[in-house]
Structure 1
Amino acid sequence: MWLFSVLLPLLRLYLCGIKVLIYQMFNRSFTLPVLPRQNGRVAVVTGGTRGMGYETARHLASLGMHVVIAGNEREEGAAAVRTFQEEGVEGKVEFVFLDLTSLKSVRQFAQAFADRGLPLHVLVNNAGTMMVPERQTEDGFEFHFTLNYLGHFLLTNLLLDTLKRSGRPGRCSRIINMSSATHFAGVVDMEDLNKRICYSSHAAYSQSKLALVLFTYYLQEQLAAGGFPVTVNAVDPGMVDTALYDNLWSLAQAMKKPVAKTLFRTPAEGASISIYAAASSELEGVGACYLYNSHRIQSSDSSYDSELQAELWKKSCELVGIRDSCTSYQSTA
């Protein structure tokens, strides 16, 4: 039983990876179109100090956005801001500390942002981790589930009123959730979201990415029902050569290095889908999409399970200690 619980998620995840690599072998990363200026708009990018988050923040700032990089590495954050300033990006860029594994830190970030009175037009929930050995956060939750999903769930909800006030018809605010093809291998176990019965880092990671897609579709449906000018989309960057793979087993690391040089996307290429979702005219007013290589594709069958979406939403509200605000969304429709 234990072997089955650990081996099956591993095989399913690596099968997803092989499928993505085959696709990337024969298909180039899409080239970003010329995007409209974003002067006067404000974005928050989590995990924006490195990798795809860094590239996303830099590109949005180059379009004239005021970009708030949210991350838990202060030195990296300061270095990123200096680099952007030296490059002469047009928009304002700043770093604000945020530890997504701490619900207290998420609340402090959201409150500090609200106190500034800034609008918020784009929220890119980019930060993530993969294949971390079993560990719990200070709040007692599984690490992947919290960093990849639950922290972003709370952050989004706490910033949602600002997003709704900042959007308008024809110029919606946008929420972008970073998922991956591994969500196809994911199973959201409502009885064991913290994976305490039999821990598998592969299962925990896949579950967190599926949870993000379920969250995307459910939130978009409720916002649309309430008539709010906010769109929510999930993006899939493909396999990208970033530090996300640092926790792979030694053998997998050795096998990954030569493959990454030829088949993996660069961080800039991987970030292009988030940038496209955040700023393209083609996606104005369009939500509930799963975007891969600029295309709207079908996500996993389980991600469209409306009962599972609602159940996960309700449970997530309980876990982070917030009111289920979707009831109020529907009542205003």
Structure 2
Amino acid sequence: MWLLTVLLPLLKLYLCGMKVLFYQMFNRSFTLPVLPKQNGRVAIVTGGTRGMGYETARHLAGLGMHVVIAGNEREEGAAAVSRIQEEGVEGKVEFVFIDLTSLKSVRQFAQNFTARGLPLHVLVNNAGTMMVPERKTVDGFEFHFTLNYLGHFLLTNLLLDALQRAGRPGRCSRVINMSSATHYGGEVQMEDLNRRVCYSSHGAYSQSKLALVLFTYHLQERLAAGGLPVTVNAVDPGMVDTALYDNLWSLAQTLKRPVAKILFRTPAEGASISIFAAAASELEGVGACYLYNGLRTQSSRSSYDPELQARLWEKSCELVGLQG
């Protein structure tokens, strides 16, 4: 049992990492093309106070967007806003508190945003964590599953009306979900989504990233069936030198540092694919894509399973208290 539930997810995750590093060794990072101005459009970027989220927020504000940085660190959020404003960006940027590990906080954020009457053109579900020790959220769910996936699932659904109202044919609103190559080694355990039977931080992380891809495809199918002007895509930034790796065990941290300097992408490089998905004309009206290094790429075989997509959607609705 231990070999299957703990050691196997660990091996799969590190194998995925090695494949990504090998690719990055011989391929340059995606270079953003010139993007159209986004004046008058509004974006929410979760986890936008640091790393790739910050770079995404900064770039979108530079294109003229009104960017709402959503995060759970107020001082860090204020500092991020100040740094972006000091660059003299064309758009507006602000910080609003949200704790994605609390369903109550997610609902409060969505309620407050809706009450402001702002349109919503872009939602970047960027916030995430990796390989934290076993921990439950205030609602009793596994931490990776909630922060990386379930909180974003609820947030997106609560903001769908705003996204639909802001979109129109030829200028759709966009949802971008931050996944990872680790989803290729992920397995969604429908009977144990909270990993209570035998916990593995590697397995929990990979599951959360696969769940985001499954969510992306199923939501796009539902939107397309309703003829709604919203697109949903998943992005894979590659291996990026951010605080996401702070939870690696000490030896791995030591080995990671010199490798990261040579082979990892910078936060700005990692954010380029999210920025592209949020603003590129080439992706107008295009959804259900898995984007890696600027290219539409095949995600894992299991991510295309319509039955698994539907089962996860229904279970997620049940967990967060939404009607399916």
Alignment TM-score, normalising by the size of structure 2:
1.00
**Counterpart residue number, 2:223:** 223
2:101 corresponds to 1:125: no
**Counterpart residue number, 2:294:** 294
CA drift at 1:5? 1.6
Unaligned runs of 5+ in 1: 325-333
Cα distance between partner residues in 1 of 2:276 and 2:237: 11
Deviations along 1:110-152, one digit per CA (max 9) or x if unpaired, are: 0000000000000000000000000000000000000000000
Amino acid at match of 2:119: P
**Counterpart residue number, 1:182:** 182
Amino acid at match of 1:37: K
Amino acid at match of 1:11: L
Cα distance between partner residues in 1 of 2:4 and 2:192: 17
Amino acid at match of 1:283: L
- What are the within-5 Å matches in structure 2 for residues 117-266 of structure 1? 117-266=117-266
Deviations along 1:243-291, one digit per CA (max 9) or x if unpaired, are: 0000001111011000000000000000000000000000000000000
CA drift at 1:4? 3.2
Deviations along 1:3-43, one digit per CA (max 9) or x if unpaired, are: 33210000000000000000000001011000000000000
**Counterpart residue number, 1:19:** 19
User: For 1:188, what is the secondary structure of its paired residue?
Assistant: coil
CA drift at 1:2? 1.7
**Counterpart residue number, 1:269:** 269
Amino acid at match of 2:134: E
| Aligned positions, number | 324
**Counterpart residue number, 2:115:** 115
Amino acid at match of 1:306: P
**Counterpart residue number, 1:97:** 97
Please give the root-mean-square deviation of Cα atoms over the aligned residues, in Å.
Answer: 0.4
**Counterpart residue number, 1:328:** none
User: For 1:152, what is the secondary structure of its paired residue?
Assistant: helix
- What are the within-5 Å matches in structure 2 for residues 46-85 of structure 1? 46-85=46-85
Cα distance between partner residues in 2 of 1:271 and 1:187: 26
Cα distance between partner residues in 2 of 1:108 and 1:222: 25
Cα distance between partner residues in 2 of 1:253 and 1:37: 40
**Counterpart residue number, 1:317:** 317
Deviations along 1:310-331, one digit per CA (max 9) or x if unpaired, are: 000000000000111xxxxxxx
User: For 2:225, what is the secondary structure of its paired residue?
Assistant: helix
Cα distance between partner residues in 2 of 1:165 and 1:86: 32
Amino acid at match of 2:95: F
CA drift at 1:85? 1.1
